[in-house]
Structure 1
Amino acid sequence: MTVRIVIPARYGSSRLPGKPLADIDGKPMIQHVYERALTVQGATGVVVATDDERVRDAVEGFGGTAVMTDHRHESGTDRLVEVAELYPADIYVNIQGDEPLFRPSDVEQLIACMTDDASVDVATLYHVINADEASNPNSVKLVLNAQNDALYFSRSPIPYDRDGEGVTYRKHIGIYGYRHSVLDQYGELTQPMLETAEKLEQLRLLHAGFKIRAVEVAEVAAGVDTPECLDRVRGLMAGIEPKQMRAPALADVRLVITDVDGVLTDGRLVYDTQGECLKTFHVRDGLAIRVLEMSGITVAVLSGRDSAVLRKRLADLGINRVCLGAKDKRLACQTLMDELDIRPENTLFIGDDTLDLPAFEACGISVSVADAPGYIREAADIVLAAEGGQAAFRELADSILLAQGKFENISTAHGYENLSGFKTQ
Structure 2
Amino acid sequence: MSTMAAHEQAKGRLAIVIPARYGSTRLPGKPLVDILGKPMVQHVYERALEVPDVDAVVVATDDQRIVDAVAAFGGRSVMTSPYHASGTDRLVEVMASVEADLYINLQGDEPLVRPADLHALARGMWRDTSVVVGTLCHRMLAEEAKDPNQVKVVLADNGDALYFSRAPIPYVRDDSSADYEHFKHVGVYAYRREVLAAYSKLSPPMLEQAEKLEQLRLLAAGLRIRAFQVEPTGPGVDTPEGLEEVRALMAGSGACKPASTCPNSLAGVRLVITDVDGVLTDGGIYYDASGESFKRFHVRDGLGMRMLESCGVKVAVLSGRDSNALRRRVSDLGVSFAMFGVKDKAEACLALMKQAGAVAEQTACIGDDSIDLPAFAVCGISFAVADAPLYVQEAASRTLSLAGGQGAFRAVADEILQAQDKHHVLATAVGYASVSDSMAQ
Quick check: TM above 0.5? yes
Trace 1:49-68 onto structure 2 (pairs within 5 A): 49-68=60-79
What residue is the counterpart of 2:172 in the other structure?
161
Structure 2 SS opposite 1:49: strand
What residue is the counterpart of 2:328 in the other structure?
none
Mapped contact 2:14–2:55 kept (Cα < 8 A): yes
Among 214, 217, 221, the alignment partner of 1:204 is 217
Structure 1: distance between partners of 2:16 and 2:50: 11
Structure 2: distance between partners of 1:113 and 1:132: 30
Mapped contact 1:4–1:91 kept (Cα < 8 A): yes
Structure 2: distance between partners of 1:194 and 1:42: 36
Trace 1:267-282 onto structure 2 (pairs within 5 A): none
Structure 2: distance between partners of 1:162 and 1:152: 18
1:189 and 2:202 are equivalent in the alignment: yes
Deviation, structure 1 residue 131: 1.4
Structure 2: distance between partners of 1:151 and 1:204: 13
Trace 1:250-261 onto structure 2 (pairs within 5 A): none
Mapped contact 2:109–2:238 kept (Cα < 8 A): yes
What residue is the counterpart of 2:136 in the other structure?
125
Structure 1: distance between partners of 2:52 and 2:23: 31
What residue is the counterpart of 2:85 in the other structure?
74
Structure 1 SS opposite 2:22: coil
Structure 2: distance between partners of 1:170 and 1:212: 15
Mapped contact 1:93–1:178 kept (Cα < 8 A): yes
Which one scores higher on RCO, CA 8 angstroms, separation ≥ 6?
1
Structure 1: distance between partners of 2:174 and 2:249: 39
Structure 1: distance between partners of 2:65 and 2:260: 38
CA RMSD of aligned residues (A): 1.8
Mapped contact 1:42–1:111 kept (Cα < 8 A): no
Deviation, structure 1 residue 146: 1.0
Structure 2: distance between partners of 1:68 and 1:38: 20
Deviation, structure 1 residue 164: 2.6
Larger Rg: 1
What residue is the counterpart of 2:145 in the other structure?
134
What residue is the counterpart of 1:229 in the other structure?
242
Deviation, structure 1 residue 135: 0.3
What residue is the counterpart of 2:57 in the other structure?
46
Which runs of no fewer than 5 residues in structure 2 stay unpaired? 1-11, 262-267, 269-356, 358-441
Structure 2: distance between partners of 1:40 and 1:246: 28
Deviation per CA, 1:342-388: give whole Å up to 9, x if none. Answer: xxxxxxxxxxxxxxxxxxxxxxxxxxxxxxxxxxxxxxxxxxxxxxx
Deviation, structure 1 residue 247: 9.0
Mapped contact 2:16–2:58 kept (Cα < 8 A): yes
Mapped contact 1:194–1:203 kept (Cα < 8 A): yes
What residue is the counterpart of 2:161 in the other structure?
150
Deviation, structure 1 residue 162: 1.1
Structure 2: distance between partners of 1:181 and 1:164: 45
| Cα 1:82/1:125, change in 2 over 3 Å | same
Structure 2: distance between partners of 1:125 and 1:2: 20
Structure 2: distance between partners of 1:209 and 1:55: 36
Aligned residues: 250
Report runs of 4+ in structure 1 exceeding 6 Å deviation. none
What residue is the counterpart of 1:325 in the other structure?
none
Among 26, 36, 49, the alignment partner of 2:47 is 36
Structure 1: distance between partners of 2:180 and 2:207: 24
Structure 1: distance between partners of 2:195 and 2:171: 31
Mapped contact 2:245–2:254 kept (Cα < 8 A): no
Percent identical pairs in the alignment equals 58
What residue is the counterpart of 2:112 in the other structure?
101
Q: TM-score, normalised by structure 2?
A: 0.55
Structure 2 SS opposite 1:7: strand
Residue type matched to 2:76 in 1?
T
